């Protein structure tokens, strides 16, 4: 069942626009530019006196409704155009036409961002409660408006905000693009067929899952060398991005970048404290898993390059077999989710082929009303199945929002913590289906492989995310006063890794370059984006438990939650399912389900090695 590169699909973008040079696309860009100009004129005419509060007379309310309606329309088309261009750049880093087109569009996107900030400042001067009581449009946007009102308390002057938005194009946004350009195009040199050659980083990562340990070690050493070669510009990029965030959050009146990030994530300190505390409690369990994997591989301890080493004996996954499993599991859950999967595969939403110049990892682009495009590099193992189900979960969320008729401001108000809910929930649906199938076959080797794939992914979403959270928090603390050098950054990363993994990984094989490899750390204007993955994983486990208890009642309630992600805060939406996000017990319950899988993995390892983990002092 080995997969072949020629069998892997590339997405079809022609149903969105025929091409980047087509009259349809160029016309859409021209119309967008005109709409931005008209929106600016509208703001000038209706913003009122932005230097003081203004009375809520009928004229002001009418002006507000006109501005909001037009802004929503312009924002939606800006996202579509941006994601359409991104689809070309992310699959071909050398596509100069796409890059040129992106640079042409960027000034207009900046102007939309400036208008959004002006909207924030205008709303901050209005009596939002009265506005909501007197305007249907405002009532439909009650949650986003109250969020805007809160954010207005943390703004600089209008002139300063406009300058910050303009400078951001050649500041934080440029550093973000530099990281993307460098990491997309980077290669590593390895010996192959008695000659040294340059290999794309995606291929190096794929070798990290090879059954031959020498191949994994060679890939690890080549990757380390490759990161060292571009450490200087990546260090500058990280310092530049985090330096800009530090300066702006301080000027806007936030106590720290973390406080600003928690506002963006829609959660409070008590929730984070409960989540982090429960996660810390679970670290010894993940260390047990890694020790068990080392025993299975016959190693005294795992090297860093052994973390993704395959175990057990599972069938190799083809793209078609992955699509079949996902469609089956989605259909078993409900017709709407099943229809979404079938549409995605039928209409070529997915670009799965690994190739040079294509950005690694998974991504879901929302390119129209309920229409998405999904990028990944499919390999013949379960992790690719997981990534595909994850991104299709994002696509389902987009479809639900479109069906509910959500506006741009409503969608934009959804915090990142909730944007991982559907994706992680869909992952769990597919994983349970794959594991049930393996159990029904009575194939312990296949169960081992699937459990290891799940636990490896979960370890990254829990242990690695906690390490990155600690790293970013400590990086910000030092960045307030100075820039950090590459050696200091590496030391911070290793410190966070040791704090979360303990002594289970061979210290002679460190991997200090997680800060360089993780694109989320360089996201444009976003900090602590790692937390939503941990939140989303455990929140999805809690929701799945409710689904198992009462599937019939759960499905419409879950769709309503997804449709409401920009209409209420996470705590309020969670309470619909009797979930208290500030309760450490809730997060523990999610981690308990992972512990059960770790225990099952240990039992299977013991059966394969004849070694009882309960009698191994180092395992506890």
Q: Which pLDDT score is estimated for 4?
A: 40
Q: What is the 3-state secondary structure (H, E, C) of 270-330?
A: HHHHHHHHHHHHHHHHHHHHHHHHHHHHCCCCECHHHCCCCCCCCCCCCHHHHHHHHHHHH
pLDDT band for position 577 (50/70/90)? very high
Lowest mean pLDDT: which of 50-64, 123-137, 240-254?
50-64
Closest to 530 in 3D by CA, of 275, 339, 196: 275
What token pair was written down for 246?
């530090």
Asked if 55 and 130 touch (Cβ cutoff 8 Å), the reply is: no
Please name the residues in contact with 204: beta carbons below 8 A apart, sequence gap of 6 or more: 188, 190, 219, 222, 223, 226
Closest to 187 in 3D by CA, of 358, 309, 353, 306: 358
Q: Which pLDDT score is estimated for 336?
A: 97
Closest to 128 in 3D by CA, of 61, 63, 182: 61
b/e burial code for range 337-346 (CB count within 10 A of at least 16 → b): bbebbeebbe
Q: Is the pLDDT of residue 5 over 50?
A: no
At residue 442, what are phi and psi to the nearest 5 degrees?
Answer: 70, 25
Q: What is the pLDDT of residues 366-401, one digit of tens each?
A: 998 899 999 999 988 888 999 999 999 999 999 999
- Give the CA count within 13 Å in the CB-facing half-sphere of 53: 9
Q: Which pLDDT score is estimated for 376?
A: 95
Q: What is the pLDDT of residues 425-440, one digit of tens each?
A: 999 999 999 988 888 8
- Distance from C-alpha of 374 to C-alpha of 349, rounded to nearest angstrom: 6
Q: What is the pLDDT of residues 294-340, one digit of tens each?
A: 999 999 999 999 999 999 887 789 999 999 999 999 999 999 999 99
- Distance from C-alpha of 309 to C-alpha of 208, rounded to nearest angstrom: 7
Beta bridge partners of 373: 365
Q: Which pLDDT score is estimated for 52?
A: 56
Q: What is the pLDDT of residues 151-179, one digit of tens each?
A: 888 989 888 988 988 888 889 989 998 99
């Amino acid at each position: 069942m080995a997969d072949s590169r020629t069998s892997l699909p590339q997405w079809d973008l022609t149903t969105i626009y025929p091409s980047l040079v087509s009259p349809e696309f160029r016309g859409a860009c021209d119309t967008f530019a005109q709409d931005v100009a008209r929106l600016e004129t509208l703001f000038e005419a209706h913003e009122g006196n932005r230097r003081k509060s203004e009375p809520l007379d009928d004229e002001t309310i009418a002006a507000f409704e006109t501005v909001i309606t037009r802004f929503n329309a312009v924002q939606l088309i800006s996202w579509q155009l941006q994601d359409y261009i991104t689809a070309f750049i992310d699959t071909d880093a050398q596509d100069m036409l796409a890059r040129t087109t992106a640079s042409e569009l960027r000034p207009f996107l900046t102007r939309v961002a400036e208008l959004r900030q002006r909207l924030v400042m205008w709303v901050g001067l209005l009596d939002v409660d009265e506005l909501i009581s007197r305007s249907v449009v405002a009532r439909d946007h009650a949650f986003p408006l109250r969020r805007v009102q809160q954010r207005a308390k943390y703004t600089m002057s209008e002139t300063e905000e406009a300058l910050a938005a303009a400078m951001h194009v050649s500041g934080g946004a440029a550093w973000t693009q530099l990281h993307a350009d460098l990491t997309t195009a980077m290669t590593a040199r390895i010996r192959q067929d008695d000659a040294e050659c340059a290999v794309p980083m995606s291929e190096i990562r794929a070798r990290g899952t090879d059954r031959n340990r020498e191949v994994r070690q060679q890939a690890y050493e080549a990757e380390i060398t490759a990161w060292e070669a571009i450490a200087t510009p990546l260090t500058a990029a990280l310092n530049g991005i985090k330096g800009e965030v530090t300066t702006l959050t301080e000027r806007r009146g936030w106590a720290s970048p973390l406080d600003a990030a928690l506002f963006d994530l829609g959660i409070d300190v008590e929730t984070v404290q409960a989540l982090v505390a429960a996660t810390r409690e679970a670290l010894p369990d993940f260390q047990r898993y890694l020790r068990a994997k080392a025993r299975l591989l016959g190693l005294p301890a795992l090297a860093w390059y052994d973390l993704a080493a395959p175990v057990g004996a599972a069938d190799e996954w083809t793209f078609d077999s992955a699509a079949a499993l996902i469609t089956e599991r989605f259909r078993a859950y409900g017709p709407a989710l099943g229809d979404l999967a079938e549409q995605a595969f039928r209409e070529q939403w997915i670009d799965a082929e690994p190739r040079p110049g294509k950005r690694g990892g998974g991504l879901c682009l929302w390119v129209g009303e309920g229409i998405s495009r999904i990028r990944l590099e499919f390999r013949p193992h379960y992790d690719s199945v997981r990534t595909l189900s994850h991104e299709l979960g994002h696509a389902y969320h987009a479809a639900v929002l479109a069906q509910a008729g959500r506006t741009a401001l409503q969608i934009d108000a959804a915090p990142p913590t909730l944007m991982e809910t559907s994706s992680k929930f869909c992952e769990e649906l597919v994983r349970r289906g794959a594991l049930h199938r393996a159990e029904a076959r009575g194939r312990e080797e296949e169960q081992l492989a699937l459990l290891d794939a799940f636990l490896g992914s979960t370890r990254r979403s829990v242990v690695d995310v906690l390490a990155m959270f600690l790293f970013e928090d400590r990086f910000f603390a030092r960045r307030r006063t100075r820039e950090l050098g590459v050696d200091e950054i590496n030391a911070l990363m290793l410190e966070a890794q040791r704090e979360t993994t303990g002594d289970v990984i061979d210290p002679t094989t460190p991997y200090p370059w997680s800060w360089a490899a993780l694109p989320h750390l360089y996201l444009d204007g976003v900090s602590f984006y790692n937390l939503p993955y941990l939140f989303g994983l455990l929140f999805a486990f809690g929701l799945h438990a409710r689904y198992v208890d009462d599937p019939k009642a759960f499905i419409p309630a879950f769709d309503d939650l997804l449709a409401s992600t920009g209409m209420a805060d996470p705590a309020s939406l969670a309470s619909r399912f009797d979930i208290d996000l500030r309760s450490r017990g809730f997060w523990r319950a999610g981690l308990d389900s992972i512990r059960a899988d770790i225990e099952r993995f240990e039992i299977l390892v013991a059966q394969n090695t004849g070694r009882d983990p309960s009698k191994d002092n180092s395992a506890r």
